[in-house]
Chains A and B, each alone.
Chain A
Amino acid sequence: MFYREAGDFKTSYRLDSQTFPIKFDRLRFYAVLAIAYGVIPFFVNDYWASAVLVPFLIYSIAAIGLNVLVGYAGQVSLGTGGFMAVGAYAVYKLMTAFPEVSVFIHVLLAGGITAVVGVLFGLPSLRIKGFYLAVATLAAQFFLVWLFNKVPWFYNYSASGQINAPDRTVFGVFVTGAQTSATAKYLFCLVMLTIVALIARNLTRGTIGRKWMAIRDMDIAAEIIGVNPLTTKISAFAVSSFFVGIAGALFFAVYLGAAEVGEAFGIQKSFLILFMVIIGGLGSIFGSFAGAAFLVLLPVLLKNVLVGTLGWPTDLAAHIELMIVGALIVIFLIAEPHGLAQLWRVAKEKLRLWPFPH
């Protein structure tokens, strides 16, 4: 009943092209922001932060990053885990080398370094497409993990080969290390996610986003209407890796605290994030959130139901949980191959006409 565009007249192109053109949507968005910033920080505890909220925020960043590359620019990548590792090791080296600089800057710089590495591994995309490109990025995944394992300089010659996040603060509050509160972790990741999501939205709605989508939909036609394929593909790799690098840096520094590269950033991570993007919806920022939420929340929910409510043994529940998640992914993809974002879109279109659908 409230979800109407009738009577909501747009008098400028700016108003017409805003992210949430329908007033109800806009208010809902502000409400979500207000709750995320104004309410949740006061109630968040360690369990919620480490099991649900922080992983959701970080995976959302990574999914947005991968969505830029796969969903918007149409370049398939299986190297996400490797690029997250670059972000993690970059932020580790920066944190230990320049302890006096704010970790906020470090995380952004780690994103920048990952962008450079991403561009390097994105160069083959100028020649190869589709599955072949996926295999080339797979090489990046294995090479990067191998590199961080083999070269002791990256983990500061520590005996265990692990990297450990030192205690660092933003505005005097610990955001990394053992003394960090759940609220600080949550807020730090939330601020990062907000920045990433805004940048991603701005890029995808403007010139550069159209170039990416043109290359994705028909690369030859795109070149003939004036899109430079080289700079366009490279920029997609750069932007995507920037976001993925930030996600990797946060995943290590804020979430894990200590990481071993093969375990934390292996090939499973690449697939997990690719699944998030596909289930959420290719070429949609909202889809990145939805996909991350689906794959982070669902296992937690299932575990609570199976172990908590039904009282099953933990090991059995863990196996059943894997099977249920897998089955749900298949069911979702059959029901709506374009992902949760498309379901959402269809629901909104129906809602717009409700309760008189004709």
Chain B
Amino acid sequence: MNDMTDGYMTADGRKIGGVVMELKNITLKFGGVTAISDISFDIREGEIRAIIGPNGAGKSSMLNVISGFYIPTEGEVWYRGARRPQMRPYKVAQMGIARTFQNIALFDGMSVLDNIMTGRLTKMKKGLFAQAGWWFTGAAKEEDEHRAKVEKIIDFLEIQNIRKTPVGRLPYGLKKRVELARALAAEPSILLLDEPMAGMNVEEKEDMCRFILDVNDEFGTTTVLIEHDMGVVMDLSDRVVVMDYGRKIGDGPPDEVRNNQDVIDAYLGVAHD
């Protein structure tokens, strides 16, 4: 894994490209609490990158740094070869980073279709006055074009039958899937998934794994995911970052991480000296 300047081949023969995002020496402090201390890693084009670690290790904080919700106290985020200046989260979203949330953050008052259509907001360009005109200003046409794209994702994730259902009425597993659909609708260059399988039964987990792999396969989407289920992480991901107490204790392909003594200690709970 040392020579990675132009990417690498995965075990199942997929070609992974160059670096899309690089996090350099990220430190995040909330007052006296250090959530993340001096972590660096990179994310490469087309790979599935997992972040794992025990509870409170700082995984979600890391994801929030990537999605621009937290501004790191120290360190830099490099995106596509340029340093990303400090910016509001909606600007980060417009740059092509989409995410799902640990606690589902769908818009309960809207239908599934409308929720997924919100994923395309960053791509829809018609302004207020064009919207008011609707039939005469091309707003209706734009809506139809984006609806067609959204319908593809609905087909892909097999949620055609709940298209018009208000999100509030859906069971948990389907909500997770709708949230994935909303993130995918943005055609992200990096997709961040915060515990996509939390609270699911085995069958739902299998479905979700299949969707994540299919998405990666079909659209080549770079995916960063946080997950607690070790079986899932080891099967899905190409490279894994392991965090514990805000520090990085391992980074590499699943097999390498699995045999890392620090990682084993962190998970088995060896006393820190």
**Chain A interface (Cβ < 8 Å from any Cβ of B):** 12-14, 17, 199, 202-203, 206-211, 213-214, 216-218, 220-229, 235, 239, 283
Q: Which residues 84-122 of B sit at the A interface, judged by CB distance below 8 A?
A: 88-90, 93-94, 98-99, 101, 105-110, 114, 117-119, 121-122
Do the beta carbons of B131 and A12 come within 8 Å of each other?
no
Do the beta carbons of B105 and A207 come within 8 Å of each other?
no
Do the beta carbons of B134 and A225 come within 8 Å of each other?
no
Do the beta carbons of A283 and B109 come within 8 Å of each other?
yes
- 8 A-B residue pairings within 8 Å (CB atoms): A202-B134, A203-B128, A217-B110, A222-B118, A223-B90, A225-B118, A226-B93, A283-B109
Chain A residues within 8 Å of B105, by CB:
218, 220-221, 224
Whether, in the assembled complex, B49 has its beta carbon less than 8 Å from a beta carbon of chain A, the answer is: no
Q: How far is the CA of A207 from the CA of B123 in the complex (A)?
A: 10
Do the beta carbons of A202 and B110 come within 8 Å of each other?
no
Q: How far is the CA of A202 from the CA of B105 in the complex (A)?
A: 26
Task: Output the nearest chain B residue to A14 by Cβ-Cβ distance.
Answer: B144
Query: What 10 A-B pairs have minimum CB-CB distances, sorted nearest first?
Result: A226-B93, A221-B105, A217-B107, A202-B134, A226-B122, A13-B147, A207-B124, A13-B144, A199-B132, A206-B131
Do the beta carbons of B93 and A202 come within 8 Å of each other?
no
Known: A17-B147, A203-B131. A211 touches B121 (CB 8 A): yes
Whether, in the assembled complex, B148 has its beta carbon less than 8 Å from a beta carbon of chain A, the answer is: yes
Do the beta carbons of A239 and B128 come within 8 Å of each other?
yes
Do the beta carbons of B110 and A210 come within 8 Å of each other?
yes
Chain B residues within 8 Å of A213, by CB:
107, 109-110, 114
Chain A residues within 8 Å of B106, by CB:
217-218, 221
Chain B residues within 8 Å of A208, by CB:
128, 131
Whether, in the assembled complex, B56 has its beta carbon less than 8 Å from a beta carbon of chain A, the answer is: no
Selected from B69, B119, B132, the residue in CB contact (under 8 A) with A203 is B132
Most A CB within 10 A of own CB, among B93, B101, B110, B118: B118
Task: Output the nearest chain B residue to A217 by Cβ-Cβ distance.
Answer: B107
Do the beta carbons of B133 and A226 come within 8 Å of each other?
no
Do the beta carbons of A224 and B109 come within 8 Å of each other?
no
Q: How far is the CA of A168 from the CA of B27 in the complex (A)?
A: 68
Task: Output the nearest chain B residue to A209 by Cβ-Cβ distance.
Answer: B131
Do the beta carbons of A224 and B93 come within 8 Å of each other?
yes
Chain B residues within 8 Å of A17, by CB:
143, 147
Q: How far is the CA of A203 from the CA of B132 in the complex (A)?
A: 5
- Chain A: minimal CB distance from B182 (Å): 7
Chain B residues within 8 Å of A199, by CB:
132
- Chain A: minimal CB distance from B113 (Å): 9
- Chain A: minimal CB distance from B148 (Å): 7
Chain A residues within 8 Å of B117, by CB:
210
Whether, in the assembled complex, B157 has its beta carbon less than 8 Å from a beta carbon of chain A, the answer is: no
Q: How far is the CA of A202 from the CA of B68 in the complex (A)?
A: 32
Do the beta carbons of B186 and A225 come within 8 Å of each other?
yes
Do the beta carbons of A214 and B118 come within 8 Å of each other?
yes
- Chain B: minimal CB distance from A148 (Å): 28
Q: How far is the CA of A226 from the CA of B91 in the complex (A)?
A: 7
Do the beta carbons of A14 and B140 come within 8 Å of each other?
yes
Chain A residues within 8 Å of B191, by CB:
none
Q: How far is the CA of A223 from the CA of B87 in the complex (A)?
A: 12
Task: Output the nearest chain B residue to A221 by Cβ-Cβ distance.
Answer: B105
Q: How far is the CA of A209 from the CA of B114 in the complex (A)?
A: 10
- 19 additional contacts (CB under 8 A) given A221-B106, A228-B90: A12-B144, A14-B144, A202-B139, A206-B131, A211-B118, A213-B109, A214-B110, A216-B109, A217-B109, A218-B108, A220-B69, A223-B89, A223-B90, A224-B68, A225-B90, A225-B98, A226-B121, A226-B122, A283-B109
